[in-house]
Structure 1
Amino acid sequence: MAESQTELLNRVFLLESEFLKFLKPTDVIFNIQGLEEDFIDEIWELEKNNRKEASGRLLKKISENSDLLPKFIVALSDQGYQRFVDPINNIYPDRGRKFCQEYFEFLINYMKGELADILEPLQICAYLYRNRCIELSDKEAIEAMQSSRGRTAACQEMFQAMKRRKDNWALLLLEAIKETQEYVKLKMDPSASQEELERTGILLAGTKQRYHSDSTSSDKESLPFESTFNFDVKLRQKVRLQSIRNPIIHDCIITNDQLVFTDYVRNSLLIYAINGSINREIKLSGTPFNISVINDNDIAVSYNQKFIDIISINTGQVKNKIVKSGNTGWISYQNRLMFADIDHQKIDVMNLTGEVIRSFNRPLKSSVLCISSDTDSVFFTDPSNSTVYCFDLNGSDKWRFTADMMKSPTGVTTDGNGNVYVVCYISHNILVVSPDGKHHKELLTEKDGLQNPTGIYYDKPNDCLLMYNKRNCDAFLFDVKHSH
């Protein structure tokens, strides 16, 4: 082993205790080329029972094969493990920042219980994700934790995710709190009196103003579909996206008999033929956030930045760049109008030149949002309270739906009859809801192959439903027939 490589390995193993404390091996093993599939499976299974042991096993493997070392470091960097990458590269914080980090870390650990009682983690983690402080997998884990175990558990998950990724996690977390929940004031001086704290406005006060996400359920109980309303769903095609090594898919659509997936790792679109065979890859200008079909030839791509690309699916060229005043998240195109979530605050309704026809305040305070527009309605899903919302095109509430079988809805799409299809990450199923929100039916379940599904799209011309599994990178194409 070359001397420089030996020094690199020594720096890695100087951090061994940190790796054992914070590393999640499954975050990086799929990005380290040269690891045998059997070893990857071994680490995957081992981590389920003992993450620390799995981390030690991975480090041992790296030490035994010098070719794996640089690939391991690149994988750490790609997956946002800056707390490891900087010291490995001999980059250390200045003494002033180090002191502040240690001080704020002490304060946060000291007040962790109080913070978990008043913070709204979904707001904070959205900010952290936008600013590359945590990864998509961390954000989804926090959202899932709030959905399944509540806000306090989600806060604990958020603290751990920050510690895992960044050595200056306390500084970054305090900045996120300041930007998203300005009414939360931290007690920076533990020796200060109650009067001093109230006068200076730096009191961490559970009795002061608190923010609560809307979680109102429907006034009328939703009923299952009547037996006269039938859906016949048949599997047409299973698509194994594992053929593209280690993709992280965020969204999917069907256009012109092609399946299109966003790859978060490669900053690209993966194009498959309708029969499931890989076609090609289109490189993008950034990390894709959401996509929407414009026509048979064009799609819109958002990046959680201040622009939207209109891209030709045939040539891969950007035909138009729509510049916006704020970061653009979820988008949906319908009837020659683009609906775009801007800065998690408002919905802009615009044409394809970017001219805003109208805007309305974002109807949900949750930081997580999926939208799908129909001819006279906009549908939102909120994973934090497992609710589907229907609004008119001006942002007025029409109806909302929730059900025990629907846990953490992550996507929504509609068919030509106005039925709403909802994909659910935690309950591993797809529900269909009637156009008026009064009836529902569980359409597909884990028995049909759904495992932590995240993406969904209904192709109206051909009446087929595309969905994507995050857990195993499989996609399924179902033919849907429905009749009254």
Structure 2
Amino acid sequence: MKTFGKVVLDSSACNIPIHNKGNIQAQIIVPPQTNKFDKVSLKFKQTIQTKLTSVRGCTFLPDGKMVLACRSPSNQMKVFNPDGSVDFDLKEIGFVCDVEYVGDNSVAVTYGRKSLKINIIDVQTRKLMKALYVGSSNNGVTFKGGKLIYCAGDQGLNMISLSNESITSITTTKMSSDACVASQGNKLFYTNEDNHNVKCCDIQGKTLWTFKEKRTLSYPMGISVDNGGNVYVAGFSSHNVVVISTDGQRCRQLLSAKDGLHCPSAVVYDRTNNKLLISNYNGSAFVYDAVGE
């Protein structure tokens, strides 16, 4: 597969190898997991005809079922069986944005700027378990250690505890309206479609690296991370899925328009079964087995 180049820490430079006059700096920026990153590939498994429009989020359930969330026309979540058939629809009241599995047969659902709360819904009983008042916009969301980390619009990146509902600010940088977030270990990864970049920060909000190369990744939306820390991003306007190395210095295109991608908006990596689910904004979704991770 084609390698598109490198990204230096906190810089927008990309698409050419990094060369430095000093050997010390060159040694520092060598990716520590080059071999694992180079071996990552995807093997096609199935296409799912979702019949959904405006898909914003997706997640896997432990039993292999898949949940897709869309904000129009009916603001709903649709649950699919592992074979791609529809299990059931879960109607939602609100402008559905993202969905994330949080354990105990439940998912967290965000609602963008149309609601100041995040709902926790039991997907077995199909009932509301808890409504978390966050007092802000809530877009992309990820689950980490009993807490939800969510894109809070003008407030930046926030975290809310499911146990006591306390809210902590991680970053105060304004988040874009279609921003998505993922977590792995003590790192957070989030997209900014307005600036065509992907950022990685620690749990305290300190930026570790920034990936930006509009020719490779345009209008990034969905984002997910595998067990090795490789970052998978859906390029809405570039009609592709790229993988970014754990240190943010390298990227490769894994899927493109020729693979059926047209405005892909949501992506999730199943770390238990090493599967990747990608959904177009309208129409089809695709499941791939990850190889070499």
- What's the TM-score, normalizing by structure 2? 0.83
Distance in 2 separating the partners of 1:318 and 1:336: 18
Quote the residue 1:267 is aligned against: 75
Does the 8 A contact of 1:222 with 1:440 survive in 2? no
Partner amino acid, structure 2, of 1:292: E
State the distance in 1 between where 2:56 and 2:153 align.
Answer: 19
Q: Is the 8 A contact 2:224 2:232 kept in 1?
A: yes
- 1:99-144, Cα deviation, whole Å (9 max, x unpaired): xxxxxxxxxxxxxxxxxxxxxxxxxxxxxxxxxxxxxxxxxxxxxx
Q: What is the CA-CA distance between 1:342 and the residue it aligns to? A: 2.8
Match of 1:334 in 2: 144
Determine whether 1:465 maps to 2:256.
no
Counterparts of 1:347 and 1:293 in 2: how far apart (Å)? 19
* 3-state secondary structure, aligned to 2:258: helix
Deviation string 1:259-307 (CA, Å, 9 cap, x unpaired) is 1111322222101101100111112232211111102611100113111
Q: Which amino acid aligns with 2:69?
A: T
| Structure 2 counterpart SS, 1:447 | helix
> AA paired with 1:432?
V
- Give the Å deviation of 1:360: 2.9
Q: Find 1:361's aligned residue among 164, 171, 179.
A: 171
**Contact 1:223–1:438 (8 Å) recurs in 2:** no
Flag the structure with more relative contact order, 1 or 2, with Cα contacts below 8 A and sequence separation at least 6: 2
CA contact (8 A) 1:221 1:438 kept: no
Paired residue total: 264
Q: Does 1:371 align with 2:165?
A: no
Q: 1:276 is matched with which residue?
A: 84
Q: Is the 8 A contact 2:151 2:180 kept in 1?
A: no
Q: Deviations over 1:321-350 (max 9, x none)?
A: 111222323221122221123342132222
Q: Which amino acid aligns with 1:457?
A: V
Query: Which amino acid in 2 is paired with 1:328?
Result: N
Q: Tell me what 1:248 maps to.
A: 54
Answer yes or no: is the 8 Å Cα contact 1:390–1:397 preserved in 2. yes
Query: Aligned match of 1:394 in 195, 204, 220?
Result: 204
1:304-453 equivalences under 5 Å are 304=112, 305-353=115-163, 355-356=165-166, 358-364=168-174, 366-403=176-213, 404-453=215-264
SS at match of 1:340: strand
Q: Render the CA deviation track for 1:159-197: whole Å, top value 9, x for unaligned.
A: xxxxxxxxxxxxxxxxxxxxxxxxxxxxxxxxxxxxxxx
1:291 aligns with 2:85: no
- SS of the counterpart of 2:103? coil
Q: Which amino acid aligns with 1:250?
A: R
Is the CA contact (8 Å cut-off) linking 2:139 and 2:180 kept in structure 1? no
Q: 2:204, 2:54 → 1: CA distance?
A: 34
Deviation at 1:444, TM superposition (A): 1.0
The CA distance in 2 between the partners of 1:446 and 1:438, in whole Å, is 24
1:28 corresponds to which residue? none
Q: Which amino acid aligns with 2:193?
A: P
Q: Which amino acid aligns with 1:386?
A: H
Asked whether the equivalents of residues 266 and 280 of structure 2 are also in contact (C-alpha less than 8 Å), the reply is: yes
Give distance in 2, aligned partners of 1:263 and 1:357.
26
User: 2:69 is paired with a residue of what secondary structure?
Assistant: strand
> Which consecutive unaligned segments of at least 5 residues does structure 1 have?
1-215
Q: Match for residue 234 of structure 1?
A: 43
Of all paired residues, the percent bearing the same amino acid is: 26
Equivalent in the alignment of 2:22: none
CA contact 1:323–1:354 (8 Å) conserved in 2: no
Gaps of 5+ in 2: 1-9, 19-30
Matching residue's letter, 2:84: G
AA aligned to 2:94 is G
Q: Equivalents in 1 of 2:174, 2:74: separation in Å?
A: 31
Structure holding more strand per residue: 2
- Change in Cα spacing, 1:340 to 1:227, as seen in structure 2 (3 Å) is closer
- The answer on whether the counterparts of 2:156 and 2:175 sit within 8 Å (CA) in structure 1 is no
The answer to whether the aligner puts 1:258 opposite 2:73 as a matched pair is no
Output the CA distance in 2 between the equivalents of 1:327 and 1:386. Answer: 21
- The secondary structure found in structure 2 opposite 1:344 is helix
* Distance in 1 between residues matched to 2:172 and 2:17, nearest whole Å: 28
**RMSD between aligned alpha carbons?**
2.3
Residues of 2 paired with 1:268 and 1:234: CA distance?
Answer: 29
- Going from structure 1 to structure 2, the CA distance change for 1:354 and 1:321 (only over 3 Å counts) comes to farther
CA distance in 2, matches of 1:360, 1:458: 24
Distance 1:470 1:365 in 2: 20
Which of the two has higher C-alpha Rg? 1
CA separation of 1:409/1:327 partners in 2, compared to 1, >3 Å: closer, same or farther? Answer: closer
Going by fraction, where is helix more abundant, 1 or 2?
1
Letter of the 1:236 partner, please give it.
K
- Show CA shifts across 1:389-435 (max 9, x none): 11111111100012221111111110111110010011111110111
